[in-house]
């Protein structure tokens, strides 16, 4: 072969390389499904998904480049089963889910596609994993609070309102099937604080049922409110904050976003951090690890927030110890 012909041939091969590389990149795109228990436009949804994407990018996965993410939204579990079927039909490599109703819906549809839950309450009691150390099935991820956190919530209420005698725990059966996990702990811990835990059932995920539950509890004085992990209170956060103010109920929430919106105080895990952490599970699964062998991890970062304006409106004085412990104080 003449030198000129060889160079021409080499140039043609080199020109084809980008096409080969692009074809390989297309072949390497992985698919992730996401099923959220909140509405698409909710601020919590946006913050959590942004945290998840940051976690993916830190590990070399970029949406639109080497991963495709299909999103579905089921506020408080609405249409969860239908949306779970849709995601499963897409045959993603892994699915991320963030509430008990949506994880339960996914479990009914598949026992083979890996599922990473982000901030789930009581995954063992819900039947999603066999143990934290060895999940054993197709599910794993960062979990939420241990049941003993109820003692912290009650202690905060007693600290800011020493005369408190009763605490209402809102229960929405359809979105918080794990309610008893926390309530049993509250019943064990409450005698030492002189507080009676009261279950306030919200039969349906509606504003009228929430109003009915809170108003019936508020009839008896010296009460407070504990808003536990649940997607229903998040979707009705403004209503619950307003009811607590109207009935002058000291309230403690599981998310700081309630406090920035006008709630009294909160103690809980950084949920956005849990979503970033869930990206590490997704990364390992995409690289070949089995969810059955990836231990469930408990949160390590907790945050306390206090709203001084709300305390003043309720006629409460925030103790110095609570102020010192707060990561965020709204004045």
Specify the pLDDT at position 6: 43
pLDDT digits 0-9 by tens, 83-127: 999 999 999 999 999 999 999 999 999 999 999 999 899 999 999
Query: Backbone phi, then psi, for 71, in 5-degree steps?
Result: -105, 140
Place of tokens 């942004």: 50
Fold classification of 26-145+271-293 (topology level): Rossmann fold (3.40.50)
136 Cβ contact partners less than 8 Å away, ≥ 6 residues apart: 129, 130, 292
Place of tokens 């064990």: 188
Taking the domain 149-269+302-330, which CATH number applies? 3.40.50.2300
- CB contact at 8 A, 265 and 252: yes
Low-confidence spans in the chain with pLDDT less than 50: 1-4, 6-10, 13-17, 19-26
Specify the pLDDT at position 13: 47
Beta strand 251-253 with 115-117 is unpaired
- CB contact at 8 A, 165 and 222: yes
- CB contact at 8 A, 32 and 67: yes
Question: In the 8-state DSSP scheme, what is residue 62?
Answer: -
Size of the chain in residues: 331
From the list 217, 210, 176, 212, the residue with the least C-alpha distance to 37 is: 176
Specify the pLDDT at position 12: 53
CATH 3.40.50.2300 placement within the chain: 26-145+271-293, 149-269+302-330
DSSP per-residue letters across 211-270: HHHHHHHHTSSSEEEEE-S-HHHHHTHHHHHHHHHHTT--EEESSHHHHHTT-SEEEEE-
């Amino acid at each position: 072969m003449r030198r000129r012909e060889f160079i021409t041939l080499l140039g043609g091969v080199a020109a084809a390389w980008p096409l080969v590389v692009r074809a390989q990149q297309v072949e390497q795109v992985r698919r992730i499904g996401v099923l959220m228990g909140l509405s698409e436009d909710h601020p919590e949804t946006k913050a959590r998904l942004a945290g998840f994407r940051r976690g993916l990018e830190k590990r070399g996965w970029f949406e639109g480049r080497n991963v495709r993410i299909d999103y579905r939204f089921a506020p408080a579990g609405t249409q969860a089963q239908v949306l779970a079927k849709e995601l499963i039909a897409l045959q993603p490599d892994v699915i991320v889910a963030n509430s008990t109703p949506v994880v339960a819906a996914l479990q009914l549809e598949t026992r083979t596609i890996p599922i990473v839950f982000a901030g789930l309450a009581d995954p063992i009691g819900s039947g999603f994993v066999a143990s934290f150390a060895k999940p054993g099935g197709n599910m794993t991820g960062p979990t939420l609070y241990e049941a003993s956190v109820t003692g912290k919530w009650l202690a905060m209420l007693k600290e800011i309102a020493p005369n408190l005698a009763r605490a209402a725990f809102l229960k929405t059966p359809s979105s918080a099937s794990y309610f008893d996990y926390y309530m049993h702990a509250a019943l064990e811990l409450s005698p030492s604080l002189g507080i009676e835990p009261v279950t306030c059932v919200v039969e349906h995920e509606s504003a009228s049922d929430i109003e009915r539950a809170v108003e019936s509890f508020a009839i008896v004085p010296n009460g407070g409110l504990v808003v536990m992990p649940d997607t229903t209170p998040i979707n009705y956060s403004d209503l619950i904050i307003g009811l607590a103010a109207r009935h002058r109920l000291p309230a403690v929430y599981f998310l700081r976003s309630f406090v920035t919106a006008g709630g009294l105080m909160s103690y809980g895990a950084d949920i956005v951090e849990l979503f970033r952490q869930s990206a590490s599970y997704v990364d390992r699964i995409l690289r070949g690890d089995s969810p059955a062998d990836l231990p469930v991890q408990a949160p390590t970062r907790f945050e306390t927030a206090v709203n001084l304006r709300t305390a003043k409106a309720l006629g409460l004085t925030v103790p110095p110890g609570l102020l010192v412990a707060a990561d965020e104080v709204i004045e």
